[in-house]
Amino acid sequence: MSELFAFDSEGLAPDDAFQQYGELYASGSDVERLASPFFARVRSWRLDRYLLFSRSYGGVRHYRSTRIDRDGFDHFVLHHVVSGQLSGGQFGKPAPVHPGETLLLDTREPMESSSAGVELVTVSLARDAMRAAAGDVGSLHGCRIGAREGALLGALLRELVRQAPCLAPAAHAAVTRSLVDLLSIAIHPVGAAARSDFYRQEHVRRETVRRLVDANLTHPDFSVQRILAATGMSRAALYRLFEPQGGVARYIQMCRVEQLRRHLDDRTHDRRALSELAPELGFSSESHAGRLFKQAFGISPGAYRAASMGGAQSSPVAMMVRRWDSALRELA
């Protein structure tokens, strides 16, 4: 599992530590200090399209209110309390969350969380994965899963942060399926409804196609027809799965654009021209790559690379923010 970033306030002056912490979270939430002493330790990893965090903090409140109308986040956050106590839920209506319990929050809705001292496992989970687990997600914002109902889910989350540094990529698919299944059990202790079973099947099919796309992005001749042949789906069913992304052909294009962005952020590729990178990443030409990249990011690949190279000289916190913000937006 690839690590996104790590932050530790230990050894920093309290004001400097909180300033850096606020910068780290600026793209996702507002933060404010509480009367109790501030401290924070965070490590995070990517797991397919999910983000996993091991967090300890105190003396701080996180909240999302007016920013939800402008940042476009569209995923769920799970806070599993390992020790201490969290106060969190709907904005202005926080409730205590005790060890063993898990709080569910929808980033489309105003929210808050705070603590004088808590250890958490946090997961940022794509909305379609939450729908696969629960069926109807409309009533989940601020929902608290009890320690007994969520015992298996909590055990998986706690073990995941211990195994994250050495978890092989080949295991990601099985782990994410287990996460969705155990979340479903925690939300529906007496058995999943037919609606959530339907969404779970849709989620599995969608993830199957995504992995097939990931494995073939560098092949210029990779097409929708290849996906249909490999999965046995109808064209209409395949389009329906990726309709929010504009269809699977558009999804393939955007995956290639995102892969190009990562290459432009990778300093080991600085001496390689776009004319060399584009065909390796499955684009039909340099101009094709440049056109799609500018449509997606509003900037040419060359200008983006120049800005990224300049950013490499900025603070470590700024680089962590770029990496985290990009990963969060890929959850949509």
- pLDDT tens readout for residues 235-273: 888 888 888 788 888 888 888 988 888 888 888 888 899
Identify the CATH homologous superfamily for domain 217-316.
Homeodomain-like (1.10.10.60)
Residue 130 has pLDDT above 60, yes or no: yes
- How confident is the model at residue 52, as a pLDDT? 94
Q: Is 236 left (phi over 0), alpha (psi -120 to 50) or beta?
A: alpha
pLDDT digit string (tens) for 281-294?
999 899 999 999 88
User: How many helices (H) and strands (E) are present in the chain, helices listed first?
Assistant: 13, 12
Q: State how far the Cα of 42 lies from the Cα of 57, in Å rounded to an integer.
A: 8
Instruction: Return the percent helix, strand and coil in the chain, to nearest 5.
Output: 50, 20, 30
Q: What is 313-326 written as a DSSP string?
A: TS-HHHHHHHHHHH
Q: Which residue has the higher pLDDT, 175 or 82?
A: 82
If one counts every other C-beta atom within 10 angstroms of the C-beta of residue 4, the result is: 19
Residue 236, Cα to own-chain centre: how many angstroms? 28
If one counts every other C-beta atom within 10 angstroms of the C-beta of residue 98, the result is: 13
Please give the structure tokens belonging to residue 63. 């909240």
Alpha-carbon distances of 93 from 58, 108, 199, 316, rounded to whole Å: 19, 16, 30, 35
Please give the structure tokens belonging to residue 60. 């701080």
Residue 324 has pLDDT above 60, yes or no: no
Q: Which residue has the tokens 């065909």?
A: 279
Rounded mean pLDDT of 166-174?
A: 83
Tell me the three state secondary structure of residue 153.
helix
DSSP state of 246: T
Pick the CATH number of 2-201 from 2.60.120.10, 3.30.70.2860, 1.50.10.10, 1.20.120.530: 2.60.120.10
pLDDT digit string (tens) for 212-221?
888 898 888 8
Q: Which residue has the tokens 């969380």?
A: 113
The span from the first CA to the last CA of the chain, in angstroms, equals 20
Rounded mean pLDDT of 117-143?
A: 92
If one counts every other C-beta atom within 10 angstroms of the C-beta of residue 189, the result is: 13
Residue 85 has pLDDT above 90, yes or no: yes
Share of residues in the chain with pLDDT > 90 (%): 43
Q: State how far the Cα of 319 lies from the Cα of 304, in Å rounded to an integer.
A: 15
Domain boundaries, the chain: 2-201, 217-316
| Whether pTM exceeds 0.85 | no
Q: Which residues contact 2 (CB under 8 A, 6 or more apart)?
A: 45, 46
